[in-house]
Amino acid sequence: MTLGAPLFWLVVFFFAPLAIVWAYSFGENDGLVRISLTGTFQNYVRALEPLYLEIFAKSALIAGLTTLLCLVLGFPFAVAVTFAPRRLKVWLLLLVMLPFWTNLLIRTYALIAVLREEGVVNGGLEFLWSAGSALSQSLGFGPLDEFKPLSLLYNNTAVVIGLVYIHLPFMVLPLYAALDRLDRSLLEASLDLGAGHARTWLFIIVPLAAPGILSGSLLTFIPALGSYLTPDLLGGPDSQMIANIIERQFKRANNWPFGAALSFILMYATFIAIALQALASGRRSKETP
């Protein structure tokens, strides 16, 4: 009885729609509206064409770069939160979770305001350029050339910046959870034995934080791989990811079977990543005495 309602909800609103989309991936368009479930594998064969494989590879590359940047930025912050005083730690964790209280669309439009040519970044750079030009002129070197705004929007760089901005909390929180359980006596022993801060970081903190790194990387990579809104709003024609192609198949091309096949290839890749993470965690737990 306890599991009845949640199980019913899961079956009706998750597994049933998922099964319908999975069945569509083996179908064909019959005219403009109807879909015939013929059991064909042509949609999956088409999804493996070089054009779509290139888009999958590009999406994986952008998601991987996003994960790496989130790890590089998030790890020092997670360490700082772990060793911060209790009162400060609460506020730092609040800052990490604060973006979740704002709609993703609003945050993305705010980022557009920051990155556009008349935005905050270029406005600040233009101010510094004007100040440098005035200083150069006062020193007798003449004014600098006219400031040219940086092209920070509607390209791959903007997509990566947006994905890092959105997914950084997904990296920080698992890292903090792993580091918070760290035995600090090991750090003291390492420093007392002359290892130094750099070697302590590399050989003590990083290995002990490995479960958090793995979990955070997975929680960052998978949503970034299937991201739709960020490349759609921040990217240009050459910045589209696989989720944008799937959306076009369902809405514009009206080719639901092919869109379903692309969706499930992405889902299969997600399941493989989760299975590898679980396998690695299982091996680590067996090796740990």
**Contact criterion met (CB below 8 Å) for 162 and 108:** yes
- Looking at residue 208, its pLDDT comes to 82
Q: Which two tokens stand for residue 250?
A: 């369902």
Residue 195: exposed, middle, or buried by beta-carbon count in 10 A (0-12, 13-18, 19+)?
middle
Place of tokens 């935005």: 119
Q: Does domain 40-101+167-287 have CATH number 3.40.50.300?
A: no
> Quick one: residue 241, left, alpha or beta (phi over 0 = left, psi -120 to 50 = alpha)?
beta
- Looking at residue 217, its pLDDT comes to 92
Q: CA 124, CA 128: separation in Å to the nearest integer? A: 6
**Contact criterion met (CB below 8 Å) for 183 and 166:** no
At 35, phi and psi to the nearest 5?
A: -120, 125
Q: CA 92, CA 185: separation in Å to the nearest integer? A: 24
Q: Which residues of 41-72 are buried (b: 16+ CB within 10 A; e: fewer)?
A: eebbeebeeeebeebbebbbebbebbbebbbe
Q: pLDDT of 40-73, one tens digit each?
A: 899 999 998 999 999 999 999 999 999 999 999 9
User: Could you state, in chain order, the average pLDDT of each consecutive group of 10 residues for the chain (289 residues)?
Assistant: 77 88 87 76 91 92 95 92 88 88 90 89 87 81 79 90 94 90 76 75 81 90 91 88 91 88 89 80 61
Domain ranges for the chain: 40-101+167-287
Residues whose CB falls within 8 Å of the CB of residue 155, separated by 6 or more in sequence, listed in order:
235, 236, 238, 239
**Strand pairing category for 28-30 and 34-36:** antiparallel
- Looking at residue 284, its pLDDT comes to 61
How far does Cα 161 stand from its chain's mean position? 10
Alpha helices in 139-209 (DSSP H): 156-180, 184-192, 196-200, 206-208
Place of tokens 């960020």: 230
- Looking at residue 74, its pLDDT comes to 93
**Contact criterion met (CB below 8 Å) for 66 and 163:** yes
* CA-to-CA separations, 55 to 22, 162, 171, 253, 254, in angstroms, rounded: 21, 19, 25, 17, 20
Q: Which of 21, 63, 42 is nearest to 273 (CA)?
A: 63
**Hey, what amino acid is at 66?**
T
Question: SS3 of 34, please?
Answer: strand
Q: Which residues of 198-218 are buried (b: 16+ CB within 10 A; e: fewer)?
A: eebbeebbeebbebbbbbbbb
- Looking at residue 32, its pLDDT comes to 63
